[in-house]
Structure 1
Amino acid sequence: MSFRLESLAALLLLAVSPPALAQTPAPEAGADPALWVVKDGDTTIYLFGSVHVLKPGTVWFDDEIKTAFDKSDELVLEMVEPDQATMMQKVASLGVDPDGPPLSEKLEEKPRAAYIAAMTANGIPWQALEKFQPWMAGITLSVAPLGRLGYAADQGVEKILTTAAKQAGKTIEGLETPEQQLGYFATLPEPQQVAFLNATVAELPEAESTFARMIASWSEGKVDALAAEMNASLEATPELAQVLLYNRNANWAKWIKARLDKPGTVFMAVGAGHLAGAKDVQDQLEVLGIETHRVPKANLVAH
């Protein structure tokens, strides 16, 4: 499963992600993910690449990241999550295709067989999704292995940051609404939805090793390695990448530029795939004449 799919599947984790399997608590594993900063005379915006699911025991909210967060007045996320019931209602309203043919009939013979086999292998009755659009099945499959592999949504970066922000009384803002994020998928032409589903199915056999490599690259702050993995996954669905990554990166860069006009300190966390690779948020900021700088550990902690 690609990091791109994991990142953008986060909005549905409340609705469809299985819980992580019960297991003996893992020993703490230190992580040192990348952090960037954008500044002008009276505004500081920290840019942090998030991972939406992590294994228990992953320690990342410390050192320069915690220091930057503590200095900030406001937390900005891709989306402020609604409660589970509200999210499921939104998913149902946008993910169902009541008038179309059954989902499996939208797939050609070989992809259909692979899809049904993948659903069965992950313990999901494929018949239950026959009235849904292909993108919904793709999302469901993209998150299906995570619980079995020990990853948990309640350990994800957004969950931890949101809890900490509420405890500290910080303002929390979303760059997009749930309707917007779901709409990116729901409004895709059906051939692109089918391509997304087929790509997800094709990537599932390598999900464990691919995801482990990407988490390792994130944990070690190896942005180039993360970008290389992500870019490889984009080759199968370039039209989808334009809608789900590049256009949003450009929009968020414009948001950052506008936010620099308002004094204050902001901690902004978006999927790590948006801060790695060609046309990432940093590249889009450069187009707008705004410099970003990687934050070394010593710099922030020393102040």
Structure 2
Amino acid sequence: MKARYVMIHLALRVMCVLFSGWLLLSCAGNAPRETSAPQSASAPQHFFWKVSDSNSSVWLLGSIHFADSSFYPLDSVIETAFANAEELAVEIDVSDDSVSSEIASESMQRGMMPAGKRLQDILPPEMWNSIDSICSAWGFPSMTLQVMRPWFAAMTLSAFAIQRAGIDPTLGVDAVLLDRAAHDGKAIVGLETASEQIGALADTTDSDSAGIFYLKSTLREVSELDSMVARIVRAWKTGDDALLRETMEGEKKYDEGTREKEFSDKLDEKVYKSRNVKIAERIAEFLSEDRNVFVVVGAAHLVLDEDNVVDLLRRRGLKVQRY
């Protein structure tokens, strides 16, 4: 189940916006024409593709949302393609103040319990006890979570775990390229809205059952954060699809016909498969409009075993070449 990568991916997104606000108060033109920089046959592959139709091309980079200074500068083939691009397309433009405000607003609107209800009241006692123990060990007030729906509590715990691990989201590949695009005067295009991103995990049904499943998964996985991050970083630096998929999948498997398998499949559908279709559609639009775009999305969207963005683009008859 890919909640392992989702935990970091979307928690970092919310962390960038919310941890500078109330959470901290609570808890501390024309497409490029064959401009590729050729590599030798022995050069390592990256999560980087050139997507072409009959007369134009766009570049597609798989990002991870956390990094350090050792990632930079990026490989010359990536740097050259970025320098030549006129537009940068990202999942969501968090550099836009209005988008950041919408993320905060959507999170508050969809992530809070109804008045008079507490998170503790809808969780199994043993799950709340685990949360309380983790919060105590971290010096994080568990009462902060009481007003949150399960999915938002999971995101908050994930974000705090990321912060404790010393991960700096401002050094994530997409964040760095966003800053550079703004500095260079490149147009920035958001592939999704804040509502779509938050909606990928938000469960506001009365039962909150899917959110409880996600929270349960998060509690199990925060203890593995350091090793998981290390494996994802190694996979990205070496272009290792198999390692990234293995890390995303984790060791937990769910039997067919069980509620957990149902929730796992629904989460994959919302977070990956349905979004992959939209991302592929937007890339195809850039090509049809002959736009000179450098596209950055989470690497997970590009290496799933089925229905990943790269495969969807190939099914459209587009030429997809990896670098």
Range class of TM-score, shorter chain: 0.7 to 0.9
- 1:225 aligned onto 2:238: no
Alignment of 1:9-158 (within 5 A): 9-17=11-19, 33-81=46-94, 82-83=96-97, 87-99=103-115, 101-158=117-174
What letter is aligned with 1:264?
R
What secondary structure sits across from 2:49 in the alignment?
strand
Contact 1:231–1:277 under 8 Å retained in 2: no
1:6 is the counterpart of 2:8: yes
Higher mean alpha-carbon deviation, 244-253 vs 275-284, is at 275-284
TM-score by length of 1: 0.85
The one-letter code of the counterpart of 2:276 is N
CA shift, 1:7, in A, is: 1.4
Q: Does the C-alpha gap of structure 1 residues 267 and 40 become closer, same or farther in structure 2, counting only changes over 3 Å?
A: same
Tell me what 2:232 maps to.
214
Q: State the secondary structure of the residue aligned to 1:101.
A: coil
Indicate whether 1:262 and 2:289 are aligned.
yes
The percent identity for this pair of structures is 27
For the 8 Å contact 1:4–1:273, the answer to whether it is kept is no
Aligned counterpart, 1:288? 316
Q: CA deviation at 1:60?
A: 4.7
- Separation (CA, whole Å) in 1 of partners of 2:6 and 2:267: 10
Structure 2 CA distance, aligned partners of 1:220 and 1:188? 39
Query: CA separation of 1:195/1:60 partners in 2, compared to 1, >3 Å: closer, same or farther?
Result: farther
Alignment match, 1:299: none
Secondary structure at 1:97 match in 2: coil
Separation in 1 of the partners of 2:160 and 2:144? 15
Calculate the TM-score normalised by the size of structure 2: 0.80
Residue type matched to 1:36 in 2?
A: W
| Runs of 4+ residues over 6 Å off in structure 1 | none
Quick one: structure 1 residues 202 and 275, their matched pair in 2 at CA, closer, same or farther if it must change by over 3 Å?
A: same
Counterpart pick for 1:272 among 292, 299, 305: 299
In the aligned structure 1, how far is the partner of 2:252 from the partner of 2:107? 25
Quote the offset at 1:71 in angstroms: 1.5
Q: In the aligned structure 2, how far is the partner of 1:181 from the partner of 1:100?
A: 27
Is contact 2:8-2:158 (8 Å) kept?
yes
Decide whether the 8 Å contact of 1:135 with 1:193 is kept in 2.
yes
Two-structure CA RMSD over aligned residues (Å): 2.4
Q: CA deviation at 1:93?
A: 2.3
* Residue type of the alignment partner of 1:13: M
1:125 Cα deviation from its structure 2 partner: 1.1
Letter aligned with residue 81 of structure 2: A
CA apart distance, 1:99? 3.4
Change (3 A) 1:107 1:230: same
> 2:19 & 2:244 partners in 1: Cα distance?
24
Q: Deviations over 1:75-94 (max 9, x none)?
A: 00000114366543342222
Q: Report the more deviating stretch, 243-252 or 77-86.
A: 77-86
Which range is displaced more, 194-203 or 75-84? 75-84
Deviation by residue 1:130-159 (Cα, 9 ceiling, x = unmatched): 111111111111222223322101111122
Sort the Cα spacing of 1:55 and 1:275 in 2 relative to 1 into closer, same or farther, 3 A: same
**Residues 97 and 160 (structure 1 numbering): CA distance in 2 closer, same or farther, change over 3 Å?**
same
SS at match of 1:202: helix
Residue correspondences, number: 284
Provide the rounded CA distance (Å) in 2 between the counterparts of 1:45 and 1:187: 35
Equivalent position of 1:196 in the other structure: 214
- Aligned partners of 2:316 and 2:85: how far apart in 1? 24
Specify the SS of the correspondent of 2:113: coil
Kept in 2: contact 1:45–1:265 (CA 8 A): yes
- Indicate the larger mover: 215-224 or 278-287: 278-287
CA contact (8 A) 2:119 2:148 kept: yes
Equivalent position amino acid for 2:282 in 1: W
Could you tell me how far apart the structure 2 residues matched to 1:16 and 1:276 are?
A: 29
- Find the aligned partners of 1:102 and 1:146 in 2 and give their Cα distance: 25
Q: Which digits, 9 at most, give the CA deviation of each residue in 1:39-89, with x for residues without a partner?
A: 123321111111112234432534111111012111000001143665433
User: Quick one: structure 1 residues 72 and 235, their matched pair in 2 at CA, closer, same or farther if it must change by over 3 Å?
Assistant: farther
Residue segments in structure 1 that go unaligned for 5+ positions in a row: 20-30, 296-303
